[in-house]
Structure formats: structure tokens, C-alpha cells
Structure 1
Amino acid sequence: MAVSTENPQTQKQVLNRLRRAQGQLNAVIGAIESGAGCREVVIQLAAVSSALDKAGFQIIATAMQKCVTDPDDQSDPMTVQELEKLFLTLT
């Protein structure tokens, strides 16, 4: 299964989260370049991390749902164990 391409709404949500993370990462870089304080940089880093985690969880949740509802789909064959391992890499 490709990343969220079966449901355009899910794909849009994942891409929005990733774009948000990209913007926040640019803010971190800008903050460091301008000599911002530690607190501001860490807050922005936490926002980037959270946005990336949410995108990853959404991708994995979509894959798990597909695995359960259509176990014979061979477009991206992954076992439940592989999905669990991917999930745990985000925690």
C-alpha cells in the first residue's frame, strides 16, 4: 500500500502535517541563525517532533486499517508484526 494514496483526504492530512513540520523546522533554523534563546528553539523543535509523529502515526494507522479490512491486498504486503515494529519506531 502506498502512503495514504487510497484515501485522498488522508493523504491531504498527512501532507498538511508534513508541511507544517517543514515550516516549523524552518522556524527552528531561523531562530538559531538569529541567535534566539534556548526556550524558543526547544519549543519549535518540540512542535516539529510532534507534527512528524502525528504524520507517522496517521500513515501507520491507515496501513493497519488496510491490513485488517483487506488482508489479501498485495500492493504493499506487510504483516501485522511489521506494522507493529514500524509503530514502535515512532514511540
Structure 2
Amino acid sequence: MEPIKDTDSILKRLRRIEGQVKGIQRMVEEQKYCGDILIQIAAARAALNKVGGLILEYHMKDCIKDYMEDKEKDEVLEELIDVMLKYTK
């Protein structure tokens, strides 16, 4: 399988999410208003979902296509379904 394309962009997004989570930790330590903390949690979750979506898109467009050359289509479909179910939990 090929490495993820645009790794730099994804890593930049993940570092930004890491900063958001550290900010949320500080907010909790400083006993900030719960509503503000929840808004920051929602923003971090949305950012993480975006990164996951980008990697899932890559997986479906590139990884699965390459994998199909070596495996039966039913096996590839089952693996894709398994990944999707685990991703959406």
C-alpha cells in the first residue's frame, strides 16, 4: 500500500487538534464555564472527524483500489465494511 498523500496537511491538522485538546484541559483545570468547554470539545471533535474523513477518502480511493488487485472483491468489500463500522463507532 502507498503512504497517505498530503501527510503534511494531515499532520498539521492533527497538531492543531492536539492544541485544541490541551486548551480544553487548561479550561477544565481553570474551571472555566462548562458551556464554553463543551463548545471547544465540539470543535475538536469536528476537526478530528474531518481528518478521519480525509483518511477514509484516501483509503477508499487508493488503498482499496490497490488491495483489490490482490484479493477477491467480496473480501475487499468485507474489509471496507469492517473499517467503516469501526470508524463510525
User: Normalized against structure 1, the TM-score is what?
Assistant: 0.74
- Counterparts of residues 27-42 of structure 1 (less than 5 Å): 27-42=23-38
From the two aligned structures, give the one with the greater helix fraction.
Answer: 2
Q: Deviations over 1:9-68 (max 9, x none)?
A: 2x1222122111101100100000111001110011111111111111111110110123
- C-alpha RMSD of the superposition: 2.3
Equivalent positions of 1:3-14 (< 5 A) are 4=4, 7=5, 9=6, 11-14=7-10
Alignment gaps of 5+ in structure 2: none
Give the structure 2 partner of residue 86 of structure 1: 83
Point out the structure with max Rg over C-alpha.
Answer: 2
Once residues 41 and 23 of structure 1 are traced to their aligned partners in structure 2, the CA distance between those partners, rounded to angstroms, is 14
Determine what percentage of the aligned residue pairs are the same residue: 31
Aligned partner of 2:22 in structure 1 is 26
Runs of 4+ in structure 1 off by over 6 angstroms are none
Q: How many residues align?
A: 83
TM-score for the superposition, normalised by structure 2: 0.75
Could you tell me which runs of 5 or more consecutive residues in structure 1 were left unpaired when the two chains were aligned: none
Partner of 2:31, secondary structure, is: coil
1:55 and 2:51 are equivalent in the alignment = yes
